[in-house]
């Protein structure tokens, strides 16, 4: 994309996602968090995005990042982790979005424990991609490119 500035995209990750590769590989796969970052930034580059991948175990930090995205009209791919099921503060921050926001899950929440079947984020997201391992992020970035007309 020479001469053209890439559109910024935030890929936000919630609790325990920094432990990918060692955390329950039978559920979350063997790709490390560093591998996830590499895959997202490389695909983002091919799609014309300047992808910034972030991870935190702090609910307040994700809320601040969502405010930053809303204020800057920055598209978001978000894996809220366990916050998916109960963080109304995060839901309210996501509802303020001014650009597409796609919820992502590595596993299929509906194939797991019942408490994982409810997402407070999904009703305010542009869409949700789940159950395709790390590929869920790739699918979300491609969907975002389509949503943005790229």
Q: Which residues are annotated as a binding site for substrate?
A: 79, 85, 92, 106-107, 116
For 134, which DSSP code? Answer: T
Specify the DSSP element, H or E, that contains 51: strand 49-55
Q: Is 82 within 8 Å of 51 (Cβ atoms)?
A: no
Token digits for 120?
Answer: 């407070």
From CA 120, how far away is CA 18, in angstroms rounded?
Answer: 22
Binding region: 79, 85, 92, 106-107, 116
Active site (catalytic) residues:
28, 105
Token digits for 77?
Answer: 């791919």
From CA 92, how far away is CA 97, in angstroms rounded?
Answer: 9
From CA 75, how far away is CA 98, in angstroms rounded?
Answer: 8
Specify the residue for token string 């053209």.
Answer: 4
């Amino acid at each position: 994309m020479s001469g053209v500035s890439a559109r910024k995209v935030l890929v936000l990750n919630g609790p325990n996602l920094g432990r990918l590769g060692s955390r329950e590989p039978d559920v979350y796969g063997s790709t490390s968090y560093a591998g996830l970052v590499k895959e997202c930034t490389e695909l983002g580059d091919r799609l014309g995005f300047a992808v910034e991948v972030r991870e935190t175990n702090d609910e307040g930090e994700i809320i601040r990042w969502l405010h930053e995205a809303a204020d800057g009209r920055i598209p978001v791919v978000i894996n809220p982790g366990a916050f998916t099921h109960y963080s109304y503060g995060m839901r309210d921050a996501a509802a303020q979005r001014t650009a597409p926001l796609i919820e992502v899950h590595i596993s299929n929440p509906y194939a797991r424990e019942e408490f994982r079947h409810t997402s407070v984020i999904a009703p305010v997201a542009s869409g949700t991609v789940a159950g395709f391992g790390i590929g869920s992020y790739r699918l979300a970035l491609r969907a975002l490119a389509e949503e943005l007309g790229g």
